[in-house]
Amino acid sequence: SKTAYVRTKPHLNIGTMGHVDHGKTTLTAAITKVLAERGTGTFVPFDRIDRAPEEAARGITINIAHVEYETDTRHYAHVDMPGHADYVKNMVTGAAQLDGAILVVSALDGIMPQTAEHVLLARQVGVDHIVVALNKADAGDEELTDLVELEVRDLLSTQGYPGDAVPVVRVSALGALEGDPRWTASVEALLDAVDTYVPMPERYLDAPFLLPVENVLTITGRGTVVTGAVERGTVRVGDRVSVLGAEVETVVTGLETFGRPMAEAQAGDSVALLLRGVPRDAVRRGHVVAAPGSVVPSRRFTARVYVLSGREGGRTTPLVSGYRPQFYIRTADVAGSVDLGAAAVARPGETVEMTVELGREVPLEPGLGFAVREGGRTVGAGSVIALG
Ligand code: GDP
Ligand code: MG
């Protein structure tokens, strides 16, 4: 039988972000290689990360690769996503639940549009700690790399991060993956920076259990399993839970993390929950598993929304009342209509208050972050002010 997961080190969720082709996936593979050599991880090759299985849910394809590893002091779950749209869906909606991020910037190319957008999104969703991997240092020229570093620090400062204090580590993910000692050391230095710079976040362990459903699968002979990251609280085998969206109450009959059984899952853990007697097609991505009676789904809320500018990949024309975009809330994707009240219009680059009426009920609460999407792009990032 499988070895149980033993919680010996604090657990954090991190991820790589940055412009396509700057080396996020190569770095993810390189980190696992470096730690496998140290004996605290398992090497995950590039191809296994880049070909993560697709999850198709209601017409949206989500790609996300999870790897896990340990440093001397911490246990990490690390997410890597192939496409820009995947960041928007997972990061902005809070599904990825990043406690910190590694911003990968190619020293050859510098800041590109997705670099800037990911920093903006990270700020919007409350990722307070970013460590920069200035990648491809093997191929870069020193003076140009110095300029790129200044440019990255400046971008971070502009978005409200302490740009002067953020660790910027020059690495070669490819060099480390190929076993070059100099570049292996560079990836170790990056991991040290993550260990020391990203603090252990406050976990809401005493709050009622809540897990947004990311994926649903069937284990033959055992039943329906839902996966996701625990947003708050704790859950144990035998606990009663409600599945909001499916409107069923059931019992957790099994609990695993990265394929290993665990006695108790807590806020921040990526887990699979086996649910007693729930049909496979009753539960979907976007539903929420929670302690019974702890959350009330609603359709109407007021929110503060930042409308992305055209330069940030958003709209070039204003929003008006009656606008009907998609709302990405936790892992759910719901249509809704916008009422801007007296202001009536919201221009790109502005932060506005709006009332939203969703097409269906979802669990909502003040402070919850969400993304506003239209025709496959993010046009806004917001948070709930009040319900009703
Ligand atoms: P992603 O889109 O950000 O995940 O980027 P990938 O990891 O797929 O890398 C994109 C390309 O950059 C690939 O051809 C990699 O081999 C190359 N690459 C990644 N890291 C490095 C590096 O440190 N040095 C050099 N020279 N090339 C790299
Ligand atoms: Mg990639």
Q: What is the CB < 6 Å shell around ligand 1? A: 20-26, 104, 135-136, 138-139, 172-175
ipTM: 0.99
Are β-strands 326-329 and 332-339 bridged in parallel, bridged antiparallel, or unpaired?
antiparallel
For 175-211, the pLDDT digits (tens) are 999 999 999 999 999 999 999 999 998 888 889 999 9
Looking at residues 366-382, what average pLDDT do you find?
Answer: 84
pTM score above 0.90 = no
Q: What is the pLDDT of residue 176?
A: 98
Which position has the higher pLDDT, 17 or 296?
A: 17
Q: What is the pLDDT of residue 60?
A: 40
Between 17-21, 69-73, 305-309, the lowest mean confidence (pLDDT) is in 305-309
Does residue 313 have a pLDDT over 80?
Answer: no
Does residue 266 have a pLDDT over 50?
Answer: yes
145 among known catalytic residues: no
Our mutation pick for probing the ligand 1 site, out of 21, 46, 169, counting the most ligand atoms within 8 A of Cβ, is 21
Cβ-defined contacts of 82-88 (< 8 Å, 24+): 82/25, 82/50, 82/52, 83/20, 84/20, 84/114, 84/117, 85/376, 86/62, 87/17, 87/114, 87/118, 87/121, 88/121, 88/328, 88/371, 88/373, 88/377, 88/378
* Cα 84 to middle of ligand 2, angstroms: 10
* Cα 62 to middle of ligand 2, angstroms: 14
**In terms of C-beta density within 10 A (0-12 exposed, 13-18 middle, 19 or more buried), how is residue 370 classed?**
buried
Does residue 311 have a pLDDT over 80?
Answer: no
CA distance 229 to 272: 9
Does residue 24 have a pLDDT over 60?
Answer: yes
Six-digit token pair at 246?
A: 């499916």
Looking at residues 242-266, what average pLDDT do you find?
Answer: 93
For 213-226, the pLDDT digits (tens) are 988 988 878 889 99
Looking at residues 287-297, what average pLDDT do you find?
Answer: 94
Question: What stretch of H or E contains 119?
Answer: helix 113-124
Does residue 367 have a pLDDT over 90?
Answer: no
- pLDDT confidence tier of residue 52, bands split at 50, 70 and 90: low
Active-site residue (options: 16, 19, 22, 25): 25
* Cα 81 to middle of ligand 2, angstroms: 6
* Cα 76 to middle of ligand 1, angstroms: 22
Q: What is the pLDDT of residue 61?
A: 45
Between 66-70, 237-241, 297-301, the lowest mean confidence (pLDDT) is in 66-70
On the CB side of 51, CA atoms within 13 Å amount to 5
- pLDDT confidence tier of residue 322, bands split at 50, 70 and 90: very high
Does residue 172 have a pLDDT over 90?
Answer: yes
136 among known catalytic residues: no
- Phi, then psi, of 9 in degrees rounded to 5: -130, 155
Q: What is the pLDDT of residue 73?
A: 94
Q: What is the pLDDT of residue 89?
A: 62
Our mutation pick for probing the ligand 1 site, out of 174, 177, 187, counting the most ligand atoms within 8 A of Cβ, is 174
CA distance 210 to 226: 13
Cβ 363 vs Cβ 296: under 8 Å: yes
**Any idea which ligand is nearest the CA of 30?**
1
Does residue 94 have a pLDDT over 80?
Answer: no
Does residue 122 have a pLDDT over 90?
Answer: no
* Buried b or exposed e, range 299-317, using 16+ CB within 10 angstroms: bebbbebbbbbeebbbbee
269 among known catalytic residues: no
Q: What is the pLDDT of residue 62?
A: 52
84 among known catalytic residues: yes
**Any idea which ligand is nearest the CA of 183?**
1
